[in-house]
Amino acid sequence: SQKIEQNSEALNIQEGKTATLTCNYTNYSPAYLQWYRQDPGRGPVFLLLIRENEKEKRKERLKVTFDTTLKQSLFHITASQPADSATYLCALDGGANNLFFGTGTRLTVIP
Amino acid sequence: DTAVSQTPKYLVTQMGNDKSIKCEQNLGHDTMYWYKQDSKKFLKIMFSYNNKELIINETVPNRFSPKSPDKAHLNLHINSLELGDSAVYFCASSFGTGYDQPQHFGDGTRLSIL
């Protein structure tokens, strides 16, 4: 069965630094991968989508890479701010827009 | 205007009861979903509906039944609630069933079984 792992349950970084979150998957070849942000007590919010034929996608301070050989996606937040503190989830397509989610990484940006 | 809204936000009930959670979206989407997020924050798809037809039905107990009166609503009915049903349930919606459609989530219903 598909297995999706996000590198660490929690990540603390200093404000202004770049946060890098990792999403690894096995037993699967997704056509696309999505990243979501979830704040406590709220639903996930879509951030970025990257397709299997794309190496990199950017949106403001966010950057996502997708390496289908390594079966890995990296999610970067540059110039991090305390407001970026949240849980970040990667999700892979399971066909018919069925998404399989990773367990998430809780990011804390320390002022 | 809230895009995807769920009611109630909190639901506390006893084992064996039957309960429903309502979901409405005003985004004009034609696909809606229900997810379960357990205590370890793992989010798992339960159902999806496209144009009022069930297109995904993961291995959830048949005590759970989605009901869609129209494409803007997807309600979740749960019979004979069990302790293990305690979780946060999220409704979501998207355009179609293409591979590149972001999903929009509600803020969840926290279900606690006593």
Instruction: Please name the member of A31, A87, A98 whose beta carbon is closest to the beta carbon of B45.
Output: A98
pLDDT of residue B100: 77
What are the structure tokens assigned to B78, written together? 């749960």
Fold type of domain B4-113: Immunoglobulin-like (2.60.40)
Mean pLDDT of A22-41: 90
pLDDT of residue B88: 97
C-beta atoms of B105 and A44 within 8 A? yes
On whether any CB of chain B is under 8 Å from the CB of A103, the answer is yes
Q: Tell me the CA end-to-end span of chain A in Å, nearest whole number.
A: 40
Q: pLDDT in tens for each of the 114 residues of chain B? A: 669 999 999 999 999 999 999 999 999 998 999 999 988 888 998 988 887 778 777 788 989 999 998 889 999 999 999 999 999 999 999 987 666 789 999 999 999 999
| Domains recognised in chain A with CATH numbers | 3-103 (2.60.40.10)
C-beta atoms of B4 and A43 within 8 A? yes
Tens digits of residue pLDDT in A70-83: 999 999 999 999 99
B80: region left, alpha or beta (phi > 0 left; psi from -120 to 50 alpha) = left
Contact B48, B59 (CB under 8 A): no
Domain residue spans of chain B: 4-113
C-beta atoms of A49 and B56 within 8 A? no
CA pair distance B22, B24, nearest whole angstrom: 7
How many other C-beta atoms can be found within 10 angstroms of the C-beta atom of residue A69?
5
On whether any CB of chain A is under 8 Å from the CB of B25, the answer is no
C-beta atoms of A101 and B105 within 8 A? no
